[in-house]
């Protein structure tokens, strides 16, 4: 009789670990959001509440896409490709918002 063991927890396939939360990724995103907040407090940045909401949504989507790539894709080249695509999409939307194309 063959026994398969599951490492980790969650609802993943047998033998595959469950979802792993990458806390350093999310802490890094929070740190990126802290810099404009500090600049706003010091009077060097002119960000309103809507700017923080938009950047929080963008960073959450970026981190979610990276988490999804790391969780669901097995081949390193596919992971790198999806992460690169997510970063390029993030940068494209961010630049368009900074220039004012979506106003």
- Domain range for 27 is 23-99
Residue 13 has pLDDT above 80, yes or no: no
Instruction: Evaluate whether residue 92 is within a structural domain.
Output: yes
Query: Distance between the two ends of the chain, CA-based, in angstroms?
Result: 64
> Is residue 3 in a domain?
no
Number of domains the chain contains: 1
Q: How confident is the model at residue 98 (pLDDT cuts 50, 70, 90)?
A: confident
pLDDT tens digits, residue range 51-74?
Answer: 999 999 999 999 999 999 999 999
Q: Quote the pTM value.
A: 0.76
- pLDDT number for residue 84: 98
Residues composing the chain: 103
Sequence-distant (6+) residues with CB within 8 A of 10 are 17, 18, 19
- Whether residue 31 is contained in a domain is answered as yes
Specify the pLDDT at position 7. Answer: 46
**What share of the chain in percent tops pLDDT 70?**
80
Cβ contact 27:12 at 8 Å = no
63 inside domain: yes
Residue 71, domain member (yes or no): yes
């Amino acid at each position: 009789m063959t026994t398969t063991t599951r490492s980790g927890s969650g609802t993943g396939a047998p033998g595959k670990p469950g979802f792993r939360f990458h806390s350093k990724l999310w802490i890094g995103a929070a740190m990126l959001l802290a810099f404009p907040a500090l600049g706003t407090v010091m009077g060097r940045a002119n960000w309103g509440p809507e700017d923080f909401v938009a950047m929080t949504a963008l960073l959450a989507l970026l981190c979610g896409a990276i988490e999804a790539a790391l969780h669901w894709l097995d081949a390193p080249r596919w992971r790198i490709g999806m992460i690169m695509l997510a970063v390029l999409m993030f940068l494209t939307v961010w630049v368009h918002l900074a220039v004012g194309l979506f106003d």
